[in-house]
Amino acid sequence: MKLKVFRTRLFEEITVVFAVLLVGCGLANVSDAAVQEGSAVNRMIIHTDKGTKQISRNIYGHFSEHLGRCIYEGFWVGEDSSIPNTRGIRNDVVEALRKLNIPVLRWPGGCFADEYHWKEGIGPRDQRPKMLNTHWGMVTETNAFGTHEFLDLCEQLGCEAYIAGNVGSGTVEEMQDWVEYMTFDGDSEMANLRRKNGRDKPWRVKYFGVGNENWGCGGNMTAESYAELYNRFQTYVRSYSGNQIVKVACGPGSANYPWITVVMERCHRNMGAISLHHYVRGTGDWTRKGSATKFDEAEWFALMKNTLTIYPLLKKNIEIMDRFDRRGRIDLFVDEWGTWWDAEPGTNPGFLYQQNTIRDAVSAGIFLNAFNEHCHRVKMANIAQTVNVLQAMILTKGEKMILTPTYHVFEMYKVHHDATLLPVELQSNEYQFGNDKIPALNVSASKDSSGRIHISLCNLDPSNAAEVRCALEGAEPKGMFGRVLTAEDMTAHNTFENPQVVKPAIFSDFKLEGNMFTTTLPAKSVVVLAIE
Ligand code: AHR
């Protein structure tokens, strides 16, 4: 590996040759004192007294859909289950998610949202009509888990609710009624129906999505026709009884810039946020996404490179938002993101059940660093999905539950919740594979309300450790502490038989001297350092 210096502001295109990653806004290049050309040591400067932006805790949000075994088995086992539960919701899953300080949960979809009719999911459970889940495996949906159960789950988790409404196959009236049912405190048909169904006080529902992927599974609309529908539907999504609802417009999938341009242009006055969805995999092919656990370095490298596309993607989408919203009033919610692999052999392909390795963990670390870096606009992100689907935090099998490597990244990164983003300049070595290369390191840093500095570092190289020399400008550090997530093998993952293969450990491979420290990050690792 050879260190090169180049001077640029931020990622432009992922196809450019990366030698330096500058993270954290407005700083053009690493100061000459901290850079020695030709050295194999990565260089970093953290401006500990220059943070101005807050990292919303909602960047660490989650998503749960009526898909496969996410809701049923994952969250909901029913009151009569032998699996310990509170009002039908499994206790082990709630307890594990509470340890992440889960800030917000999105529901009921996904594609499912645009075929969900909420009135079928209220009232006595044995009288609820059944429906066909046409998107996900053509299975029968019993509607046992509906509005009351979801909002009970949010209360058990202590998190905000983010509900996605049905534009694709629903009506304006249906959407209006739903919001009134959940949040109106007074005397109305919907509020009284809620009371009849056992809930007197209204719930707080902070976020409401007007449709989901309406360019695809949510109705295959053009941007123009969705924009017209959005403006009409959102009119009736009201803030009742002190519940200030944030209306979320359906934004693009990945680089669909024409979509976000039209929706921003035509709807910006009527929205609090717009969504972005971005999934990554180890191949360029949706019909063969690759195995979650059986892959070689070519597919490892491809995932790392694909994950880094989040930087130019955020930059371009934000630039378009800036054109119509110069004051930055509208938030960007990356309300679906993560890795997407071929379903685990032997499972229903429509259930999107996949395993999760140290590769997924490093990818998650990069995504979260990128969201932190763009926290002036990215105010929420929801990894897909929470339990048993795609890049899950938790996998369940009957009464058993395991935590994935990605769960551990969320647990380690919770120090960034609501902290102040610190500008970082990083001069990274390259991780070269074949004729291609990407920066080997990825980072973000923040300062929490007690003044403690937290640095999350990912080493994307699966074979080489990375030595880093860091200057903490503006700090007088007294001590340092670290945790690491890594594994011997790049396909390492937790199973029901061996649930502790990938888990965080104490990390002490660092040396602090004055306001400088050096550290050596293991290959394929996520390291979080705390400095006070
Ligand atoms: O998360 C799985 C699916 O991916 C969601 O239902 C949909 O919104 C997206 O295409």
State in Å: Cα 111 to ligand 1 middle: 6
Confidence of residue 11 (pLDDT cuts 50, 70, 90): very low
- Residue scoring higher pLDDT (19 or 401): 401
Q: In the prediction, which pLDDT does 2 show?
A: 36
Any idea which residue has 């490892």 for tokens?
Answer: 300
pLDDT, position 28 = 29
Ligand 1 atom 5: the closest Cα is on which residue?
Answer: 110
- Mean predicted confidence (pLDDT) in 69-98: 98
Q: What is the pLDDT of residue 12?
A: 32
Residue 431 Cα, ligand 1 centroid: separation in angstroms? 31
Average pLDDT over residues 107-120: 98
As a whole number, mean pLDDT of residues 294-309 equals 96
**What is the tally of helices (H) and strands (E) in the chain?**
10, 28
pLDDT at 319: 98
Atom of ligand 1 nearest to the CA of 212: 8
Q: CA-CA distance, 139 to 125, in Å (whole number)?
A: 18
**What is the CA(150)–ligand 1 centre distance, in A?**
19
Angular region, 408: left φ>0, alpha ψ -120 to 50, beta rest: alpha
Q: What is the mean pLDDT of residues 385-391?
A: 98
Going by DSSP bridges, is the β-strand pair 430-433/466-473 parallel, antiparallel, or unpaired? unpaired
- Nearest alpha carbon to residue 377 among 274, 474, 296, 451: 274
Per-residue model confidence as pLDDT tens digits over 185-213: 999 999 999 999 999 999 999 999 999 99
418 or 287, higher pLDDT: 418
Alpha-carbon distances, residue 133 vs 68, 123, 143, 343 (angstroms): 10, 20, 11, 18
Distance CA 344, CA 290 (A): 10
Residue 335 CB less than 6 A away from ligand 1: no
Atom of ligand 1 nearest to the CA of 385: 1
pLDDT tier for residue 27 given thresholds of 50, 70 and 90: very low
pLDDT reported for residue 283: 79
Catalytic residue among 65, 73, 141, 213: 213
Q: How far is CA 372 from CA 128, 150, 239, in A?
A: 42, 28, 29
Q: Which atom of ligand 1 is nearest to the CA of 135?
A: 6
Banded model confidence at residue 39, pLDDT cuts 50, 70, 90: low
d(CA 468, CA 385): 33
Under the banding of pLDDT at 50, 70 and 90, the label for residue 10 is very low
Per-residue pLDDT at 361 exceeds 70: yes
Q: Tell me: the pLDDT tens digits for 257-276?
A: 999 999 999 999 999 999 99
| Residue 164 near ligand 1, beta carbon < 6 Å | no
Q: Which residue, by CA, sits nearest to atom 8 of ligand 1?
A: 110
What is the mean predicted confidence (pLDDT) over 366-380?
Answer: 98
Does the beta carbon of 338 sit less than 6 angstroms from any atom of ligand 1?
A: no
> Which of 66, 67, 141, 213 has most ligand 1 atoms within 8 Å of CB, for mutation?
213
Q: Whose CA is nearest to atom 4 of ligand 1?
A: 110
Which of 508, 483, 471, 322 lies closest to 409 in space, CA to CA? 483
Ligand 1: does its nearest atom lie under 6 Å from the Cβ of 392?
no
Catalytic residue check, 213: yes
Q: What are phi and psi of 502, to 5 degrees?
A: -115, 110
Question: If you average pLDDT over every residue of the chain, what do you get?
Answer: 93
Residue of 423, 313, 405 lying closest to 55 (CA atoms): 423
Q: What is the pTM of this model?
A: 0.93
Q: Tens digits of per-residue pLDDT, 483-506?
A: 999 999 999 999 999 999 999 999
Q: Give the pLDDT score at 9.
A: 29
Residue 417 scores a pLDDT above 60? yes
Tokens of 516: 């400088």
Q: Helix or strand or coil: residue 509?
A: coil
* Residue 531 clears pLDDT 60, i.e. is over it: yes
Mutation pick for ligand 1 pocket among 217, 254, 390 (CB with most ligand atoms within 8 Å)? 217
- Amino acid making up residue 128: R
Choose among 479, 389, 380: nearest CA to 67: 389
CA of 128 to the centre of ligand 1 (A): 25
Mutate-to-test residue for ligand 1 from 66, 275, 336, highest number of ligand atoms within 8 A of CB: 336
Phi, psi of 459 (to 5 degrees): -100, 110
Residues 154-173: pLDDT tens digits?
999 999 999 999 999 999 99
The residues, ordered by sequence, that sit 6+ positions from 88 with a Cβ below 8 Å of its Cβ are 76, 77, 78, 79, 81, 144, 145, 149
Instruction: Report pLDDT for 285.
Output: 75
Which listed residue (141, 149, 299, 336) is catalytic?
336
Q: Whose CA is nearest to atom 3 of ligand 1?
A: 110
Q: What angle do CA 308, 310, 315 make, to 5 degrees?
A: 120
Over residues 6-31, mean pLDDT: 32
Q: Which amino acid is at 70?
A: C
Section 466-478 average pLDDT: 97
32-40 CB contacts, 8 Å cutoff, 24+ apart: 34/425, 34/427, 34/469, 34/471, 35/5, 35/427, 37/3, 37/4, 37/5, 38/2, 38/3, 39/3, 40/1, 40/2, 40/3, 40/429, 40/467
Atom 2 of ligand 1: nearest residue by CA position? 110
Please report which helix (H) or strand (E) contains residue 525, including its range.
Answer: strand 525-531
pLDDT bin (cut points 50, 70, 90) of residue 100 is very high
pLDDT of residue 348: 95
130, 143 in Cβ contact below 8 A?
yes
- The rounded distance, in Å, linking the Cα atoms of 7 and 309 is 20
The Cα–Cα gap between 68 and 111 comes to 13
Ligand 1 centroid – CA 337 distance (Å): 9
250 lines ligand 1 (CB under 6 A): no
Active site residue 37: no
